[in-house]
Amino acid sequence: QVQLQESGPGLVKPSQTLSLTCSVSGGSVSSGSSYWSWIRQPAGKGLEWIGRIHTSGSTDYNPSLRGRVIISVDTSKNQFSLRLSSVTAADTAVYYCATDGSGTPERYWGQGTLVTVSS
């Protein structure tokens, strides 16, 4: 059973870069054929897919965020990370990390972490 845990600052200033890490247990970010994803949810609103990275290192991003988002992997720590630059209040949300299962989209999710963009 894969378990995921998000970590990072809960408060980021406008125009700065949001950085979050997802720690993985029960699975490996560097083996097999899995996608490691980030999804966010503003308070009281729906889910927005941010992007994903494959174990091969290839990435896909939400076009609405492309240019501001980078997802990367740290195989030595069995973690993957999200960097979102030039943040505004509109980026305030609960951020989830997730990964797929065999033939499924996001089967395993972290508990989510709230990031607030405010000065």
Q: Which residues bind other proteins (CB under 8 A)?
A: 37, 46-49, 51-52, 60-64, 96, 98, 101, 103-107, 109-112
| Residue recorded with tokens 């501001």 | 68
Q: How far is the CB of 1 from other proteins (least distance, A)?
A: 11
Give the nearer residue to other proteins in terms of CB position, either 15 or 47: 47
Phi (first) and psi of residue 54, to 5 degrees: -90, 160
* Residue 29 near residue 21, CB atoms below 8 Å: no
- Residue 60 or 85 having the CB closest to other proteins: 60
Residue type, 31: S
What's the closest the beta carbon of residue 46 comes to other proteins, in angstroms? 5
Residue 62 beta carbon to other proteins: minimum distance, rounded to whole angstroms:
5
Which tokens sit at 74? 């740290």
Angle (nearest 5°) at CA 68 between 64 and 42:
60
Residue with smaller CB distance to other proteins, 37 or 79: 37
Q: Which amino acid is at 14?
A: P
